[in-house]
Structure 1
Amino acid sequence: MKRFLLVMVFGVMTIAALAQSNQESAIRQILAKQTEAWNKGDINAFMQTYWKSDSLVFVGKNGVTYGWQNTLDNYRKGYPDKTAMGQLKFTIIRIEPLSGQVYNVIGKWHLTRTIGDLQGHYTLIIRKINGKWLIVQDHSS
């Protein structure tokens, strides 16, 4: 009986670890998609990883912005062309599950640009909505 319980516990732990690994892989893919889109100069594609909702929250150097469209507009204003956008690199520091449907991601961003590099850190809240992982909150500084 003890052996059976140990096998069951090990099996459940293995399944949970695999599920978390799959979720983390999906989240890493979101950041890879963002990097690819940004480096092509495609802010519209970059924004597809964000929750297209008025409830999206973005916190940056100018304070809090609410809504997907407002966030897109701010990106367009701050990065009007490929020169301003440069080449983006993300470094993930930590991916932490807050629940089975919500993850917290902490990392660094770096823009290599001919007009001067920029860099900072970010904290993302990524949530699974209708079967798709989306950024619902972004604090980048």
Structure 2
Amino acid sequence: MKKVLILFLFIATYSFAQETNIADDKKAIITLLTAQKDAWNNYDIETFMEGYWKSEELKFYGAGGVIKGWQSTLERYKKSYPTKEHFGKLRFVFNDISKINDGAYSVMGEYHLTRKVGNTNGIFMLILKQINGEWKVIADTSAKVN
């Protein structure tokens, strides 16, 4: 009986620790994405890009196809959003944040851009990975819905 109780306590403690880690991971991911939103709203593309993995392995998939690499993704953003008016005011809605495995999550959500040059809305799916203790977007799929 004592062994069963010890096993039960171990399982309960392990489960609680797992749930706590997941909650902490989700909080850190939301913090990162909120910092990206704030940078975007301050017309600061360089700070916005700090949330992405600075690697040639980064992938961005949008209407123009797959773009590979951090620098190419930065150039795509600069071309698609050439002025402050094109940046506008960004708002995110996070619809799902799910653990893929230890150190990796998917985030599904919506983006809403309010702009003088015309509002735009869309959906996204991000894959984030913990790299050197920091969460980074390693893949971004975004699509306009209006």
Shorter-chain TM-score: which interval?
over 0.9
Does structure 1 residue 114 correspond to structure 2 residue 140?
no
Q: Percent identity?
A: 37
Measure, in 1, the Cα distance between the counterparts of 2:82 and 2:117.
13
SS at match of 2:140: strand
CA RMSD of aligned residues (A): 0.7
Residue pairs, 1:1-141, within 5 angstroms: 1=2, 2-141=4-143
Q: Which runs of 4+ in 1 moved over 3 A?
A: none
Measure, in 2, the Cα distance between the counterparts of 1:46 and 1:136.
14
1:30 to partner: Cα distance:
1.0
1:130 to partner: Cα distance:
1.2
Using the TM superposition, name which of 2-11 and 110-119 deviates more: 2-11
Q: Can you give the 5+ residue segments of structure 2 that lack an aligned partner in the other structure? A: none
Measure, in 2, the Cα distance between the counterparts of 1:57 and 1:129.
16
1:4 to partner: Cα distance:
2.3
Cα deviation, 1:15-54, whole Å, max 9, x if unaligned, reads 0000111000110011101100000000111000000011
Q: Scaled by the length of structure 1, what TM-score is found?
A: 0.97
SS at match of 1:5: helix
Q: Which amino acid aligns with 1:25?
A: K
